[in-house]
Structure 1
């Protein structure tokens, strides 16, 4: 009976942890459903389970001595997907920006840091922001971070100011 219980626990843990596995297929609709040939671009995608990520993020924020405001923003996040692209080109980035504009994403900020550009876009319905997309563009790779949750415009502004201060 004890062995059966352990097997069930292991199977459940594997099921919950499978979203941590890195995949070589894109996990964002534009890249996986468009049917475009991305000319040798290599993808790595991660779906981050929030029940694992939130405690780690909170611990890191406490260690850095960051304020309660950043912790409050982390509580509002419900899902994070990360996609990295190696050998991506400027055309891919431009087409993706057009796709986002066509799908009602608004550009809120572009932050330049040590040669990298971080672009913040949000999808807003009324006062509620349910989706935020961060695009990090460096010379060597592209990183897309899709953050889902329940945010306000004030939350996003505070997050941008927090990032600029760091």
Structure 2
């Protein structure tokens, strides 16, 4: 019985940290297309282990003085994937935007800050938002964050208001 508990514990730990593995292969649909010519773009991707990240994110938001209402949105997140692209091109970014439009993502907001563009797109069915894509674009460096969860339009609006107030 003791050996079974130890084995289960190690399997849980390995499963938790397995999603932490950093890869040079893209982890998002558009960028996984082998037929697309990404030229000299270099990718780095990882899945954020929420079991470890949620407490850290909540603590950081509290330290920054964010409202409990915004912090409670973290509970609604079920999965986060991050992809960074070095040497990306405007053409690739435009093709990515077309891909998202073809896959029913709606452009909700674009925020310009210090020469960087932050774009938020969501995939919505009725009042349920299951997927949110955040793109940070500055010249040739791109960051894509794919957030899955169960959000409402009001949740996204609160998040945008909190960000735009800063």
Query: TM-score normalised to the size of structure 2?
Result: 0.93
When the two structures are aligned, how many residues end up with a matched partner? 166
State the match for 2:14 in structure 1. Answer: 14
State the match for 1:37 in structure 2. Answer: 37
Which stretches of structure 1, 4 residues or longer, exceed 2 Å deviation after superposition?
Answer: 1-12
CA contact (8 A) 2:16 2:51 kept: no
Partners of 2:114 and 2:25 in 1: how far apart? 29
State the match for 1:65 in structure 2. Answer: 65
Secondary structure class of the residue paired with 2:108: strand
Partners of 1:71 and 1:117 in 2: how far apart? 24
State the match for 1:116 in structure 2. Answer: 116
Which string of whole-angstrom CA distances, capped at 9 and with x for unpartnered residues, describes residues 35-93 of structure 1?
21200100000101111111000111111221111111111111100000000000000
State the match for 2:138 in structure 1. Answer: 138
Partners of 2:4 and 2:66 in 1: how far apart? 44
Secondary structure class of the residue paired with 2:19: helix
Decide which moves more: 3-12 or 79-88: 3-12
Unaligned residue ranges in structure 1 (runs of 5+): none
Describe the shift of the 1:152–1:57 C-alpha distance in structure 2 as closer, same or farther (beyond 3 A).
Answer: same
Partners of 2:12 and 2:159 in 1: how far apart? 35
State the match for 1:106 in structure 2. Answer: 106
State the match for 2:91 in structure 1. Answer: 91
State the match for 2:162 in structure 1. Answer: 162
Report deviation, 1:7.
Answer: 5.9
Query: TM-score normalised to the size of structure 1?
Result: 0.93
State the match for 1:24 in structure 2. Answer: 24
The two structures, once aligned, show a CA RMSD in angstroms of: 1.6
State the match for 1:75 in structure 2. Answer: 75
